[in-house]
Homo-oligomer: A and B are copies of this chain.
Amino acid sequence: MNLLEELSRNEPSCLGQELYAFAASIYPICRSITGDGIRATLAAIQNRIPLNVSDIPSGTAVFDWTIPREWNISDAYIKNAGGNRIVDFREHNLHVVNYSTPVHAVMPLSKLRPHLFSLPAFPDRIPYRTTYYEENWGFCLSHRQLQSLEEGEYEVCIDSSLADGTLTYGEYYIPGNSSDEVLFSSHICHPSLANDNLSGIAIATFLAQFLSGRTLRYSYRFVFAPGTIGAISWLASNRDAAKRICNGLVLTCVGDEGPFHYKKSRRGNAQIDRAMARVLRDSGEEFTLLDFAPYGYDERQFCSPGFNLSVGCLMRSVWGTFPEYHTSADDLSFIQPLALAKSARICVALVDSLESDVRYVRQNPYCEPQLGRRNLYDSSGPDARTANLARLWILNLSDGDYSLSDIAERSGLPFSAIQEAARTLRLAGLLSPVGASLHDD
Protein backbone atom coordinates (compact mmCIF):
# COMPACT_ATOMS: atom_id res chain seq x y z
CA MET A 1 0.00 0.00 0.00
CA ASN A 2 1.26 3.43 -0.88
CA LEU A 3 -1.46 5.99 -0.28
CA LEU A 4 0.40 8.75 -1.99
CA GLU A 5 0.76 6.79 -5.19
CA GLU A 6 -2.90 5.97 -5.10
CA LEU A 7 -3.71 9.63 -4.61
CA SER A 8 -1.52 10.51 -7.56
CA ARG A 9 -3.77 8.51 -9.84
CA ASN A 10 -6.20 11.31 -9.17
CA GLU A 11 -5.21 14.27 -11.26
CA PRO A 12 -4.04 16.96 -8.79
CA SER A 13 -6.22 19.46 -10.59
CA CYS A 14 -9.32 17.28 -9.97
CA LEU A 15 -8.53 16.93 -6.32
CA GLY A 16 -7.95 20.65 -6.03
CA GLN A 17 -11.22 21.48 -7.77
CA GLU A 18 -13.09 19.13 -5.47
CA LEU A 19 -11.56 20.63 -2.34
CA TYR A 20 -12.16 24.14 -3.61
CA ALA A 21 -15.76 23.40 -4.52
CA PHE A 22 -16.51 22.09 -1.06
CA ALA A 23 -14.95 25.12 0.59
CA ALA A 24 -16.90 27.39 -1.74
CA SER A 25 -20.16 25.62 -0.94
CA ILE A 26 -19.91 26.38 2.78
CA TYR A 27 -18.34 29.82 2.40
CA PRO A 28 -21.64 31.80 2.64
CA ILE A 29 -22.67 30.28 5.98
CA CYS A 30 -22.44 32.61 8.99
CA ARG A 31 -20.65 30.46 11.56
CA SER A 32 -19.81 31.23 15.15
CA ILE A 33 -18.75 29.15 18.16
CA THR A 34 -22.38 28.05 18.60
CA GLY A 35 -25.57 28.18 16.60
CA ASP A 36 -27.15 27.12 13.36
CA GLY A 37 -24.17 28.08 11.19
CA ILE A 38 -22.10 25.39 12.87
CA ARG A 39 -24.92 22.89 12.44
CA ALA A 40 -25.22 23.69 8.75
CA THR A 41 -21.50 23.27 8.32
CA LEU A 42 -21.47 19.93 10.10
CA ALA A 43 -24.40 18.83 7.95
CA ALA A 44 -22.43 19.64 4.83
CA ILE A 45 -19.53 17.55 6.12
CA GLN A 46 -21.98 14.81 7.06
CA ASN A 47 -23.00 14.59 3.42
CA ARG A 48 -19.51 13.29 2.80
CA ILE A 49 -18.54 11.37 5.92
CA PRO A 50 -20.77 9.82 8.62
CA LEU A 51 -20.02 12.44 11.22
CA ASN A 52 -21.01 11.89 14.82
CA VAL A 53 -22.41 15.18 16.16
CA SER A 54 -22.40 16.13 19.87
CA ASP A 55 -24.21 18.94 21.64
CA ILE A 56 -22.97 20.40 24.90
CA PRO A 57 -25.64 22.48 26.70
CA SER A 58 -25.04 26.12 27.55
CA GLY A 59 -23.82 26.45 31.11
CA THR A 60 -21.86 23.20 31.09
CA ALA A 61 -18.44 23.57 32.72
CA VAL A 62 -15.61 22.40 30.49
CA PHE A 63 -12.41 22.61 32.52
CA ASP A 64 -11.92 26.29 33.35
CA TRP A 65 -14.59 27.41 30.88
CA THR A 66 -18.36 27.46 30.64
CA ILE A 67 -20.35 26.79 27.47
CA PRO A 68 -21.90 30.18 26.60
CA ARG A 69 -25.45 30.80 25.46
CA GLU A 70 -26.11 29.91 21.86
CA TRP A 71 -25.96 32.73 19.33
CA ASN A 72 -28.06 32.96 16.20
CA ILE A 73 -28.64 35.75 13.77
CA SER A 74 -31.15 36.27 10.99
CA ASP A 75 -30.51 39.79 9.81
CA ALA A 76 -28.61 42.98 10.57
CA TYR A 77 -28.17 46.35 8.96
CA ILE A 78 -27.46 50.02 9.32
CA LYS A 79 -29.90 52.25 7.45
CA ASN A 80 -29.13 55.85 6.65
CA ALA A 81 -31.56 58.71 6.95
CA GLY A 82 -32.84 57.84 3.48
CA GLY A 83 -33.81 54.37 4.68
CA ASN A 84 -31.13 52.63 2.60
CA ARG A 85 -29.21 49.66 4.02
CA ILE A 86 -25.71 51.05 3.84
CA VAL A 87 -24.27 48.17 5.88
CA ASP A 88 -26.04 44.89 5.25
CA PHE A 89 -25.41 41.51 6.92
CA ARG A 90 -27.01 39.86 3.89
CA GLU A 91 -24.16 41.19 1.78
CA HIS A 92 -21.34 39.93 4.05
CA ASN A 93 -21.63 38.18 7.36
CA LEU A 94 -18.38 39.82 8.54
CA HIS A 95 -20.37 43.08 8.76
CA VAL A 96 -21.67 42.02 12.18
CA VAL A 97 -19.40 41.61 15.16
CA ASN A 98 -19.78 37.91 15.89
CA TYR A 99 -21.87 37.23 19.02
CA SER A 100 -23.40 40.73 18.96
CA THR A 101 -26.36 41.13 21.30
CA PRO A 102 -29.62 42.15 19.59
CA VAL A 103 -30.20 45.84 19.04
CA HIS A 104 -32.76 47.90 17.19
CA ALA A 105 -32.49 51.66 17.60
CA VAL A 106 -32.07 54.94 15.86
CA MET A 107 -29.06 56.90 16.96
CA PRO A 108 -26.80 59.69 15.79
CA LEU A 109 -23.44 58.81 14.22
CA SER A 110 -21.67 59.99 17.35
CA LYS A 111 -23.36 57.28 19.42
CA LEU A 112 -22.97 54.66 16.70
CA ARG A 113 -19.31 55.28 16.07
CA PRO A 114 -17.92 53.31 19.07
CA HIS A 115 -19.71 50.25 17.64
CA LEU A 116 -18.10 50.54 14.22
CA PHE A 117 -14.84 48.77 13.36
CA SER A 118 -12.63 49.19 10.32
CA LEU A 119 -9.05 48.67 9.16
CA PRO A 120 -7.38 52.00 8.33
CA ALA A 121 -4.38 50.14 6.89
CA PHE A 122 -6.61 48.26 4.43
CA PRO A 123 -9.36 50.74 3.70
CA ASP A 124 -11.33 48.43 1.39
CA ARG A 125 -11.53 45.40 3.67
CA ILE A 126 -14.09 44.46 6.28
CA PRO A 127 -12.43 43.24 9.45
CA TYR A 128 -13.51 40.14 11.40
CA ARG A 129 -14.41 40.81 15.02
CA THR A 130 -15.95 38.75 17.82
CA THR A 131 -17.30 39.44 21.29
CA TYR A 132 -17.95 35.93 22.59
CA TYR A 133 -17.52 36.53 26.29
CA GLU A 134 -18.35 40.21 26.64
CA GLU A 135 -21.89 41.37 25.91
CA ASN A 136 -21.70 44.02 23.23
CA TRP A 137 -22.73 44.67 19.67
CA GLY A 138 -21.02 46.16 16.67
CA PHE A 139 -20.60 46.40 12.94
CA CYS A 140 -17.51 45.95 10.82
CA LEU A 141 -17.14 47.87 7.60
CA SER A 142 -14.50 49.12 5.22
CA HIS A 143 -12.55 52.12 6.40
CA ARG A 144 -13.45 53.90 3.20
CA GLN A 145 -17.14 53.50 4.00
CA LEU A 146 -16.65 54.49 7.62
CA GLN A 147 -14.99 57.70 6.54
CA SER A 148 -17.79 58.49 4.10
CA LEU A 149 -20.49 58.31 6.76
CA GLU A 150 -22.23 61.63 7.20
CA GLU A 151 -23.44 63.00 10.47
CA GLY A 152 -27.08 62.30 11.16
CA GLU A 153 -29.40 59.64 12.47
CA TYR A 154 -28.98 55.95 11.58
CA GLU A 155 -31.26 53.04 12.11
CA VAL A 156 -29.33 50.18 13.58
CA CYS A 157 -30.66 46.64 13.69
CA ILE A 158 -29.10 43.34 14.73
CA ASP A 159 -31.71 40.64 14.72
CA SER A 160 -29.73 38.12 16.78
CA SER A 161 -30.53 35.93 19.74
CA LEU A 162 -28.48 34.80 22.71
CA ALA A 163 -30.25 31.99 24.49
CA ASP A 164 -29.62 28.70 26.21
CA GLY A 165 -28.82 26.12 23.62
CA THR A 166 -25.78 24.03 22.82
CA LEU A 167 -22.26 24.07 21.53
CA THR A 168 -21.99 21.57 18.68
CA TYR A 169 -19.06 19.65 17.31
CA GLY A 170 -18.64 16.69 15.00
CA GLU A 171 -16.19 13.84 14.90
CA TYR A 172 -15.50 10.83 12.78
CA TYR A 173 -13.54 7.79 13.90
CA ILE A 174 -11.89 5.27 11.59
CA PRO A 175 -10.79 2.22 13.55
CA GLY A 176 -7.41 0.74 12.69
CA ASN A 177 -5.50 -2.31 13.80
CA SER A 178 -4.16 -0.46 16.80
CA SER A 179 -6.26 1.59 19.19
CA ASP A 180 -3.58 4.29 19.05
CA GLU A 181 -5.14 7.26 17.36
CA VAL A 182 -3.99 9.87 14.90
CA LEU A 183 -6.00 13.06 15.29
CA PHE A 184 -6.86 15.62 12.63
CA SER A 185 -8.55 18.72 13.95
CA SER A 186 -10.01 21.78 12.23
CA HIS A 187 -11.86 24.69 13.74
CA ILE A 188 -15.27 25.38 12.22
CA CYS A 189 -16.26 28.62 13.95
CA HIS A 190 -15.12 31.22 11.43
CA PRO A 191 -17.79 32.77 9.19
CA SER A 192 -17.00 33.67 5.59
CA LEU A 193 -13.24 33.30 5.81
CA ALA A 194 -11.82 30.92 3.25
CA ASN A 195 -8.27 30.16 4.21
CA ASP A 196 -9.01 30.37 7.92
CA ASN A 197 -10.52 27.85 8.02
CA LEU A 198 -12.64 26.43 5.22
CA SER A 199 -9.34 25.19 3.77
CA GLY A 200 -8.70 23.06 6.87
CA ILE A 201 -12.28 21.75 6.92
CA ALA A 202 -12.15 20.78 3.25
CA ILE A 203 -8.87 18.91 3.59
CA ALA A 204 -9.80 17.12 6.81
CA THR A 205 -13.10 16.02 5.22
CA PHE A 206 -11.35 14.77 2.11
CA LEU A 207 -8.76 12.89 4.18
CA ALA A 208 -11.48 11.20 6.22
CA GLN A 209 -13.18 10.09 2.99
CA PHE A 210 -9.90 8.92 1.55
CA LEU A 211 -8.95 6.81 4.57
CA SER A 212 -12.41 5.45 5.23
CA GLY A 213 -12.80 1.74 4.59
CA ARG A 214 -9.08 1.06 4.42
CA THR A 215 -7.14 -1.40 6.50
CA LEU A 216 -4.99 0.85 8.61
CA ARG A 217 -2.32 0.40 11.22
CA TYR A 218 -3.47 3.31 13.38
CA SER A 219 -6.98 4.48 14.16
CA TYR A 220 -7.87 7.93 12.87
CA ARG A 221 -10.06 10.56 14.45
CA PHE A 222 -11.30 13.73 12.76
CA VAL A 223 -12.61 16.47 15.01
CA PHE A 224 -14.53 19.45 13.61
CA ALA A 225 -15.15 21.85 16.49
CA PRO A 226 -15.29 25.56 17.19
CA GLY A 227 -11.88 27.00 18.05
CA THR A 228 -10.71 27.06 21.68
CA ILE A 229 -14.03 26.42 23.49
CA GLY A 230 -14.84 23.63 21.03
CA ALA A 231 -11.50 21.88 21.37
CA ILE A 232 -11.72 22.33 25.13
CA SER A 233 -15.21 20.82 25.10
CA TRP A 234 -14.05 17.85 23.07
CA LEU A 235 -11.09 17.25 25.40
CA ALA A 236 -13.29 17.58 28.48
CA SER A 237 -15.74 15.04 27.05
CA ASN A 238 -13.15 12.62 25.67
CA ARG A 239 -10.37 12.29 28.19
CA ASP A 240 -9.93 8.60 27.48
CA ALA A 241 -9.77 9.08 23.74
CA ALA A 242 -7.27 11.89 24.29
CA LYS A 243 -4.95 9.45 26.02
CA ARG A 244 -4.93 7.28 22.92
CA ILE A 245 -3.82 10.10 20.62
CA CYS A 246 -0.28 9.22 19.64
CA ASN A 247 0.01 11.80 16.89
CA GLY A 248 -2.13 14.69 15.80
CA LEU A 249 -2.33 17.60 13.43
CA VAL A 250 -4.29 20.83 13.53
CA LEU A 251 -5.12 21.97 9.99
CA THR A 252 -5.54 25.67 9.38
CA CYS A 253 -4.76 28.18 6.64
CA VAL A 254 -3.86 25.43 4.20
CA GLY A 255 -5.47 26.84 1.05
CA ASP A 256 -3.38 29.87 0.12
CA GLU A 257 -0.30 29.82 -2.07
CA GLY A 258 2.25 30.57 0.65
CA PRO A 259 5.02 28.12 1.53
CA PHE A 260 4.28 25.43 4.11
CA HIS A 261 4.81 25.95 7.82
CA TYR A 262 4.75 23.14 10.31
CA LYS A 263 4.60 24.12 13.94
CA LYS A 264 5.99 21.36 16.11
CA SER A 265 4.26 19.87 19.10
CA ARG A 266 5.23 21.01 22.58
CA ARG A 267 7.39 17.88 22.80
CA GLY A 268 9.34 19.13 19.82
CA ASN A 269 10.69 15.74 18.78
CA ALA A 270 7.55 13.63 18.72
CA GLN A 271 7.00 11.10 15.95
CA ILE A 272 4.63 13.54 14.21
CA ASP A 273 7.32 16.23 14.33
CA ARG A 274 9.93 14.03 12.74
CA ALA A 275 7.47 12.56 10.27
CA MET A 276 6.23 15.97 9.16
CA ALA A 277 9.75 17.31 8.75
CA ARG A 278 10.56 14.36 6.55
CA VAL A 279 7.35 14.54 4.55
CA LEU A 280 7.89 18.23 3.85
CA ARG A 281 11.53 17.69 2.97
CA ASP A 282 10.66 14.89 0.59
CA SER A 283 7.75 16.82 -0.94
CA GLY A 284 9.96 19.26 -2.76
CA GLU A 285 7.73 22.06 -1.50
CA GLU A 286 9.12 25.14 0.19
CA PHE A 287 8.63 24.88 3.94
CA THR A 288 9.69 26.11 7.35
CA LEU A 289 9.60 24.26 10.67
CA LEU A 290 8.45 26.36 13.60
CA ASP A 291 9.05 25.63 17.25
CA PHE A 292 6.05 25.21 19.46
CA ALA A 293 4.66 28.33 21.11
CA PRO A 294 1.57 28.49 23.29
CA TYR A 295 -0.40 30.75 20.95
CA GLY A 296 -2.03 29.83 17.66
CA TYR A 297 -4.91 27.42 17.16
CA ASP A 298 -6.16 24.38 19.01
CA GLU A 299 -2.72 22.83 19.41
CA ARG A 300 -2.70 25.19 22.42
CA GLN A 301 -5.28 22.99 24.10
CA PHE A 302 -3.97 19.62 22.91
CA CYS A 303 -0.49 20.65 24.07
CA SER A 304 -1.57 22.07 27.44
CA PRO A 305 0.54 20.55 30.20
CA GLY A 306 -2.19 18.22 31.47
CA PHE A 307 -2.46 16.62 28.02
CA ASN A 308 0.87 17.35 26.35
CA LEU A 309 -0.20 15.45 23.26
CA SER A 310 2.02 14.99 20.23
CA VAL A 311 -0.05 17.40 18.16
CA GLY A 312 1.44 19.90 15.73
CA CYS A 313 -0.12 22.37 13.33
CA LEU A 314 0.14 22.49 9.55
CA MET A 315 -0.28 25.83 7.79
CA ARG A 316 0.75 27.40 4.55
CA SER A 317 0.86 31.11 5.44
CA VAL A 318 0.97 31.55 9.19
CA TRP A 319 -2.16 32.94 10.90
CA GLY A 320 -1.81 36.56 11.94
CA THR A 321 1.07 37.25 9.56
CA PHE A 322 -0.60 37.57 6.15
CA PRO A 323 -2.48 40.80 5.38
CA GLU A 324 -5.69 39.00 4.37
CA TYR A 325 -5.88 37.33 7.80
CA HIS A 326 -9.19 37.94 9.58
CA THR A 327 -10.50 40.29 6.91
CA SER A 328 -12.92 40.04 4.03
CA ALA A 329 -9.89 39.60 1.76
CA ASP A 330 -9.61 36.02 3.05
CA ASP A 331 -12.21 35.08 0.50
CA LEU A 332 -12.57 32.44 -2.20
CA SER A 333 -10.05 34.24 -4.39
CA PHE A 334 -7.39 33.90 -1.71
CA ILE A 335 -7.44 30.10 -1.77
CA GLN A 336 -6.45 28.09 -4.82
CA PRO A 337 -7.35 24.59 -5.97
CA LEU A 338 -3.74 23.60 -6.60
CA ALA A 339 -2.63 24.89 -3.19
CA LEU A 340 -5.40 22.92 -1.52
CA ALA A 341 -4.43 19.81 -3.47
CA LYS A 342 -0.80 20.12 -2.45
CA SER A 343 -1.81 20.50 1.19
CA ALA A 344 -3.95 17.39 0.90
CA ARG A 345 -1.01 15.54 -0.61
CA ILE A 346 1.14 16.52 2.37
CA CYS A 347 -1.50 15.09 4.71
CA VAL A 348 -1.71 11.86 2.77
CA ALA A 349 2.06 11.61 2.72
CA LEU A 350 2.03 12.09 6.48
CA VAL A 351 -0.43 9.24 6.93
CA ASP A 352 1.63 7.15 4.57
CA SER A 353 4.70 7.90 6.57
CA LEU A 354 3.07 7.11 9.92
CA GLU A 355 1.51 3.95 8.54
CA SER A 356 4.78 2.79 7.03
CA ASP A 357 7.09 3.85 9.80
CA VAL A 358 7.69 0.29 10.89
CA ARG A 359 10.76 -1.07 12.60
CA TYR A 360 12.23 -4.21 11.13
CA VAL A 361 14.79 -6.74 12.21
CA ARG A 362 17.05 -8.69 9.94
CA GLN A 363 16.16 -12.36 9.81
CA ASN A 364 19.85 -13.06 10.08
CA PRO A 365 21.67 -9.99 11.32
CA TYR A 366 25.25 -11.24 10.79
CA CYS A 367 27.18 -9.64 7.95
CA GLU A 368 25.49 -8.61 4.74
CA PRO A 369 23.19 -11.00 2.93
CA GLN A 370 24.31 -11.89 -0.57
CA LEU A 371 22.16 -9.54 -2.61
CA GLY A 372 23.59 -10.60 -5.96
CA ARG A 373 22.19 -14.13 -5.91
CA ARG A 374 18.75 -12.71 -5.07
CA ASN A 375 18.93 -10.17 -7.91
CA LEU A 376 18.70 -7.44 -5.27
CA TYR A 377 21.70 -5.55 -6.51
CA ASP A 378 20.55 -3.35 -9.36
CA SER A 379 23.25 -2.64 -11.87
CA SER A 380 21.40 -0.35 -14.20
CA GLY A 381 18.52 2.07 -14.34
CA PRO A 382 18.41 5.66 -13.23
CA ASP A 383 17.48 4.79 -9.61
CA ALA A 384 19.78 1.81 -9.22
CA ARG A 385 22.24 3.65 -7.04
CA THR A 386 19.59 4.98 -4.68
CA ALA A 387 17.82 1.63 -4.55
CA ASN A 388 21.04 -0.21 -3.71
CA LEU A 389 22.01 2.32 -1.05
CA ALA A 390 18.54 2.17 0.49
CA ARG A 391 18.77 -1.62 0.71
CA LEU A 392 22.21 -1.49 2.29
CA TRP A 393 21.12 1.12 4.81
CA ILE A 394 18.02 -0.84 5.82
CA LEU A 395 19.99 -4.06 6.12
CA ASN A 396 22.57 -2.29 8.24
CA LEU A 397 20.22 -0.43 10.56
CA SER A 398 17.32 -2.87 10.96
CA ASP A 399 18.23 -3.95 14.44
CA GLY A 400 14.77 -3.31 15.91
CA ASP A 401 15.67 0.16 17.17
CA TYR A 402 15.58 2.09 13.91
CA SER A 403 12.26 2.70 12.21
CA LEU A 404 12.15 3.26 8.48
CA SER A 405 11.93 6.97 9.07
CA ASP A 406 14.95 6.87 11.36
CA ILE A 407 16.78 5.10 8.56
CA ALA A 408 15.66 7.73 6.05
CA GLU A 409 16.96 10.39 8.38
CA ARG A 410 20.35 8.80 9.05
CA SER A 411 20.94 7.83 5.44
CA GLY A 412 19.74 11.10 3.98
CA LEU A 413 17.76 9.12 1.39
CA PRO A 414 14.12 9.96 0.49
CA PHE A 415 11.58 8.15 2.62
CA SER A 416 9.94 6.79 -0.51
CA ALA A 417 13.17 5.06 -1.52
CA ILE A 418 13.49 3.56 1.96
CA GLN A 419 9.89 2.41 1.89
CA GLU A 420 10.36 0.81 -1.51
CA ALA A 421 13.57 -0.91 -0.48
CA ALA A 422 11.95 -2.21 2.71
CA ARG A 423 9.12 -3.72 0.69
CA THR A 424 11.60 -5.42 -1.63
CA LEU A 425 13.71 -6.80 1.21
CA ARG A 426 10.63 -7.96 3.12
CA LEU A 427 9.37 -9.83 0.07
CA ALA A 428 12.81 -11.41 -0.24
CA GLY A 429 12.39 -12.71 3.31
CA LEU A 430 15.30 -10.69 4.66
CA LEU A 431 13.29 -8.54 7.12
CA SER A 432 10.63 -9.13 9.75
CA PRO A 433 8.56 -6.30 11.23
CA VAL A 434 8.87 -5.64 14.95
CA GLY A 435 5.41 -6.15 16.45
CA ALA A 436 2.30 -6.31 14.28
CA SER A 437 2.34 -4.78 10.85
CA LEU A 438 -0.29 -4.46 8.20
CA HIS A 439 2.00 -4.22 5.28
CA ASP A 440 1.45 -7.68 3.93
CA ASP A 441 0.99 -6.45 0.43
Contact = CB atoms under 8 A, between A and B. Distances in A.
Interface size class of A (residues with CB under 8 A): 35 or more
B368 A304 contact: yes
Q: Which 8 A-B pairs have the closest CB atoms?
A: A306-B365, A294-B396, A306-B366, A305-B399, A294-B392, A64-B369, A305-B365, A301-B367
A307 B395 CA distance: 13
A41 interface: no
Given A133-B373, A372-B133, A373-B133, A307 B366 contact: yes
A144 B365 CA distance: 46
Nearest to A362: B305
Nearest to A400: B305
Given A294-B396, A303-B396, A396-B303, A63 B366 contact: yes
A110 B392 CA distance: 37
A307 B365 CA distance: 8
A232 interface: yes
Contact of A308 (B301, B370, B399, B411): B399
A217 interface: no
Contact of A306 (B64, B300, B308, B364): B364
A295 interface: yes
A65 interface: yes
B295 A366 contact: no
A370 B294 contact: no
A304 B365 contact: yes
Nearest to A399: B305
Given A65-B367, A300-B392, A306-B367, 18 more contacts: A63-B369, A65-B370, A232-B368, A235-B366, A236-B367, A294-B395, A294-B397, A295-B392, A301-B368, A303-B396, A304-B366, A304-B367, A304-B395, A304-B396, A305-B397, A306-B364, A307-B367, A308-B399
23 contacts: A63-B366, A64-B364, A64-B369, A133-B370, A133-B372, A133-B373, A231-B367, A232-B367, A236-B367, A293-B393, A294-B368, A295-B392, A304-B366, A304-B395, A305-B362, A305-B365, A305-B399, A306-B362, A306-B365, A306-B366, A306-B367, A307-B366, A308-B399
Contacts of A293: 393, 411
Contact of A367 (B64, B362, B367): B64
Interface in A390-441: 392-393, 395-399, 411
Contacts of A395: 294, 304-305
A399 B368 CA distance: 42
A81 B362 CA distance: 55
A387 to B, nearest CB: 13
A372 B136 CA distance: 15
A389 interface: yes
A400 to B, nearest CB: 8
Nearest to A363: B64
Contacts of A369: 63-64
B64 A305 contact: no
A67 to B, nearest CB: 12
Nearest to A395: B294
Nearest to A231: B367
Contacts of A65: 367, 370
Interface string A196-236: 00000000000000000000000000000000100110011
